[in-house]
Amino acid sequence: MADYRRTRQELEEQEETIQSFKRKGRHYIEESQQNLWHLLQRIALDNESLNEAQREYHYLEESYLEVLDKERRKITQKQDDAEQAYRKALRNLDEK
């Protein structure tokens, strides 16, 4: 039971860390994108450079969020596995 609680707490902390990375990452991406937008507006001869930079930023943002979501799903699976192991252990205790 103590192992389950400890495992569950560790996994919840990992999940919160991922959510924090997600929030911070989005903030940094938005901030960088705005800075780049202002810089390119001043120096770009046409909007194509600006559009290309925006596409690249969107691609990088999606890639970043995809990696975080993949890690979150792994943690969720580990939580489910821990829950199943805990319930199985309880059933085994009840049967004895």
How confident is the model at residue 26, as a pLDDT? 87
pLDDT of residue 79: 92
What would the mean pLDDT of 7-21 be, rounded to a whole number? 92
Neighbours of 62 (CB within 10 A): 10
Q: Which residue has the tokens 């049967």?
A: 95
- Tell me how far apart the terminal alpha carbons of the chain are, to the nearest angstrom: 17
* Segment 17-71, tens digit of pLDDT: 999 998 998 898 889 888 877 887 787 667 787 788 788 888 988 999 999 999 9
Region 3-26 average pLDDT: 91
Element (H, E) at 88: helix 47-95
pLDDT value of position 45: 63
Long-range contacts of 20-24 (CB under 8 A, 24+ apart): 21/68, 22/65, 22/68
8-state DSSP, 10: H
